[in-house]
Amino acid sequence: MNTLDKIKNKKSDNIVDKLIFEKGLKIKTIFIVSDLDLMIIVLNNKKILNIQLTDYPKLKNANKNQLNNWKLISGGIGIEWEDLDEDLSLKGFIETYAYQTAIQSINQNEYLFT
């Protein structure tokens, strides 16, 4: 087995990579509600990620037509907005969602730490 085969066959230790590349997690579709600063990402496991558009500068400054002109790429592991020259990954969305959820949880329970 050559070095290239070892690299291609190496499994990731990253839990998000495992969900996507080993378990087949994909984006099924998205909905954008710009007046609520919201992108709803529907996954193929029936889970939903709520992401703030303002977390992404190119999306934040885009108009409705530009926001709605998206397509899934790489079999659903990313989204492309060609008009905006923006490609975003499912991995990034999951990490952003986890971060936002953790911050909200901390803020809601802030009284516990005072």
Q: What is the pLDDT of residues 25-57, one digit of tens each?
A: 999 999 999 999 999 999 999 999 999 999 999
The pTM of the full predicted model, rounded to 2 decimals, is 0.80
pLDDT at 11: 75
Radius of gyration of the chain (CA): 17
Say if residue 7's pLDDT is above 60. Answer: no
Query: How high is the pLDDT of residue 1?
Result: 46
Q: Are 45 and 57 in contact (CB under 8 A)?
A: no
pLDDT score recorded for residue 114: 52
Question: Do the beta carbons of residue 105 and residue 112 sit within 8 Å?
Answer: no
What tokens appear for 89 in the block? Answer: 């990954």
Query: Which residue, 58, 59, 87, 55, is CA-closest to 71?
Result: 87
* Percent of the residues in the chain that have a pLDDT greater than 90, as a whole number: 70
Please name the amino acid found at residue 73: I
Confidence of residue 92 (pLDDT cuts 50, 70, 90): very high
At residue 3, the pLDDT reads 46
Domain 11-113 CATH assignment equals 3.30.2020.40: yes
Low-confidence winner among 6-10, 20-24, 84-88 (lowest mean pLDDT): 6-10
The tokens for 73 are: 């790429």
Give residue 112's pLDDT. 56
Q: Stretch 93-107: mean pLDDT, rounded?
A: 87
